[in-house]
Amino acid sequence: NSNSNSHQGNGMNVGSRVYLMNSTTTYKLFYLKGREFSFDVDVSQLPCGLNGALYFVAMDGDGGQSKFSGDKAGAQYGTGYCDAQCPHDLKFINGEGNILDWQPSPTDPSSGTGKYGTCCTEMDIWEANSQSTAYTAHDCSVSGQYRCEGKACGDDAAGQRYDGVCDKDGCDLNPFRLNDHTFFGAGSSFAVDTTQPFTVVTQFLTSDNTTAGDLVQIRRLFKQNGKVVPTRAVKVGGKSFDAITDEFCTAQKKAFGDPDMFQQLGGLKKLGKALDRGLVLVMSLWDDFAAHMLWLDSNYPPTKDKNAPGVMRGPCANTTGVPQEVQAKYPSANVKFSNIKVGDIGTTF
């Protein structure tokens, strides 16, 4: 159960990030290729602008402690985080304080950015609130956790988003963005009703239906009130798709006019290599100082015509998601994850 706001002895803590442990000193590594991953979730208390996320990243199982002599803390203290956005706001990277060129955030008193970012492959199983949802695959050219600086970080502020080691956009499947506006939302008129809990199932299918084959498809289905609800087929570039495949990714990027960095970095086959090495499960609840979560639940980029292909991501107004307003208005916002399972295809739901 992740809560949005909580008071600590030294002030307010906003948002949270939680890892699943294997022992007191190591994170649990998941091996997903050729397998299925499922969990139950309740997003009913997540309004526009919040993201209750469950995802996998290519962190080290020990938090990097065996690699970096300066890391005396290790996984039990949450070290070693990385993701495909190459975040600069981590206070410790590679066992060292990220203090060089540290700039306090002008809008978030508990945050800031340092010279270094920390990058790795990321599989966003679940990014959602009660209004919109997406699952997204992100490749990186580097293997495992990587401390970046300069162009390798792909910083937006430097105009280098597509020059870094990771595909920050990723290949996403968001039903609303693909013009299915009645699939996911609050109320019984939606195929998946977010006012009630449901099960989310993600299947990582391979070329030969074994755990050794190449990753060729990432399929999503839901189960609610005893009924299985598959992702509905959508039309992209004249073809019909109901799962993430390389063909879908390329068609969507072309249709939406986005750079196809996912294929440039190796597509699903490359992601499969990262799955072979094992990924760490992360659960978080966050608000978005950079883009107000509009990329998930509203029109994004807000400067584009909302009727242009791929701009509408969800039904929320593009004035929503301002963190200070979200925190003040919804202090008890929360997401509940439970019944986390991994197993053979078709066995976890």
What's the rounded Cα separation, in Å, for the pair 27 and 78? 9
What's the rounded Cα separation, in Å, for the pair 191 and 98? 45
Provide the phi-psi class of 310: left if phi over 0, else alpha when psi is between -120 and 50, else beta. left
Q: Tokens standing for 55?
A: 């995802």
Task: Tell me whether residue 96 is one of the annotated catalytic residues.
Answer: no
What's the rounded Cα separation, in Å, for the pair 200 and 177? 19
Q: Which residue carries 């280098």 as its tokens?
A: 160
Alpha-carbon dihedral angle through residues 98, 99, 101, 107, given to the nearest 10 degrees: 80
Residue 67: CB partners within 8 Å, gap ≥ 6? 60, 94, 95
What's the rounded Cα separation, in Å, for the pair 59 and 120? 7
Catalytic residue among 36, 122, 149, 247: 122
Q: Tokens standing for 200?
A: 């989310």
- Residue 259 — φ and ψ, nearest 5°? -60, 140
By DSSP bridging, strand 96-97 and strand 92-93 are antiparallel
Task: Tell me whether residue 122 is one of the annotated catalytic residues.
Answer: yes
What's the rounded Cα separation, in Å, for the pair 217 and 35? 11
Residue 149: strand, helix, or coil: coil
Is residue 134 a contact partner of residue 122, using CB atoms and an 8 Å limit? no
Other residues' Cβ atoms within 10 Å of the Cβ of residue 174? 25
Catalytic residue among 36, 127, 247, 325: 127
What's the rounded Cα separation, in Å, for the pair 224 and 185? 13
First-to-last C-alpha distance (Å) of the chain: 21
Residues that are catalytic? 122, 127
